[in-house]
Amino acid sequence: MPDLPSAAILSEDRPSPLLRDGAAADLDPALVAEVAALDNWLLGEAARTDDAGEVLAGLAERLDGLGVPVDRITTAIEVLHSEYAGVGRFWTREEGAAVRLFPHGDKFEAIYRDSPFAYVHQTRQWLLLDLAETPDERFNIVPDLKAEGYRHYLCVPIFFTNGTDNGITFATRAAEGFGARGLAVLRRIMPALAAAMEIRAVNRRLADVLRIYVGDEPRRAILSGTIRRGEVSRIRSAILFADMRNYAGISSHLTPEGAVELLNAYFDCIVPPVEAEGGEILKYMGDGLLAIFRDVGDDTGGAAYSALTAALQAVARVETANGERRFPSPVAVGIALHHGEAAYGNVGAGERLDFTVIGRDVNLASRIAGFNKTLGEPILMSQAFAEHLWSSPDPLGAFAIDGFDEETTLYRPAM
């Protein structure tokens, strides 16, 4: 990066009394005790607080109490998420807290390359800007900071133990900036602040990964300690089993990457309606998925109607996608709906377990799905499911189900 006068950028690669480690030693004993109290808050209450916006607001308030003028704080944290690469949290004195998600891809990378965060990650040093002396083109954030009336800006790199590059910034409108005393306070609290940020980030990362791969309710159960094999609970729910018809035939003409694109486009039609109706996606099985809609108290009809609504909307979305030629060839979906009981919990062996639902009713739902193609119906319902509906679906007759002694009457939505 081009050199600038030291008045514009003060960092540790330039000998500056403001950013020397030794400056922290100049704190008087009374202030040292107050800084220690802030450390305790960061590692205790702040690390446990659910709302990160509250943490930034609390940090700003406590820094003000220590004589550090702070009008804006931001953090940038790398995350492990399927839909975005990082999370930015913002606090300003006027607007309070806000969140911004940083997307995957080249656009975000270009923004990052021109940011102070990229500079401090590369140099591994603190960066202090006197904005009155900093050219607008130096970093992409500089014009906005000036327009909002900030005078001094500090960017600090924070490297987590998992190898991710993160950071925090402070900005002030005070003409004199943070001063040697304020920077010394920030030096002292930074180890505790970095540790608190990492604790929160690790907990969030674990929760996000579990939510992505096993679903929200299993995530809660696992994190609460339900991790032993055979540890299950019995639930009543509407069960939805969906798969793509003739997936093998369609995908046989595709590359492996093309087959993945097909499945993703297909699930983009199925999953959003399920989640919008309160369903839980428990498992992806090739071109199929298993979801449940839990009964709430004695209201079993609500779960059934939610499952039926999701199924109808999923079929409509597939038809729309076919019309827009989003698939390599037209796709048809088969959805089976059933209502019953299941064991919900851990199944597996050794250290490899799966959190899922099993039982007779789950098996029946998967068997019914085989009749979608045979009967030429996109949605089929069992009698046990139809009995929970307030409307009357159309009966299609009784059918022998492989593995079950009694025939099962199947229905389709009323025409």
pLDDT in tens, 118-156: 999 999 999 999 999 999 999 999 999 999 999 999 999
Count CA atoms closer than 13 A to 32's CA, side-chain side: 7
User: How large is the average pLDDT for residues 218-232?
Assistant: 77
Segment 320-334, tens digit of pLDDT: 999 999 999 999 999
> CA-CA distance, 383 to 340, in Å (whole number)?
11
Q: Phi and psi at residue 303, in whole multiples of 5°?
A: -65, -40
Band of residue 26 on the pLDDT scale cut at 50, 70, 90: low
CB of 354 closer than 8 Å to CB of 298: no
Q: What number is the average pLDDT over the span 87-110?
A: 91
pLDDT tens for each residue of 271-315? 999 999 999 998 888 899 999 999 887 776 899 999 999 999 999
Split at pLDDT 50, 70, 90, the class of 22 is very low
Pairing of strands 232-244, 288-294: antiparallel
pLDDT at res. 203: 86
Q: Which domains does the chain have, with CATH numbers?
A: 9-213 (3.30.450.40), 216-412 (3.30.70.1230)
pLDDT at 10 exceeding the cut of 60: no
- At which residue do the structure tokens 């019995």 appear? 234
Strand 9-11 and strand 127-130: the pairing is antiparallel
Checking if the pLDDT of 8 tops 50, the result is no
Read off the pLDDT band of 3 (50, 70, 90): very low
- Give the Cα separation of 193 and 211 in Å (integer): 27
pLDDT at position 221 over 90? no
Q: Where is pLDDT greater, at 1 or 359? A: 359
Read off the pLDDT band of 19 (50, 70, 90): low
Locate 184 and state its tokens: 């010394």
The residue-averaged pLDDT of 220-244 equals 83
Rounded to an integer, the average pLDDT of 227-232 is: 77
Q: Which residue has the higher pLDDT, 8 or 156?
A: 156
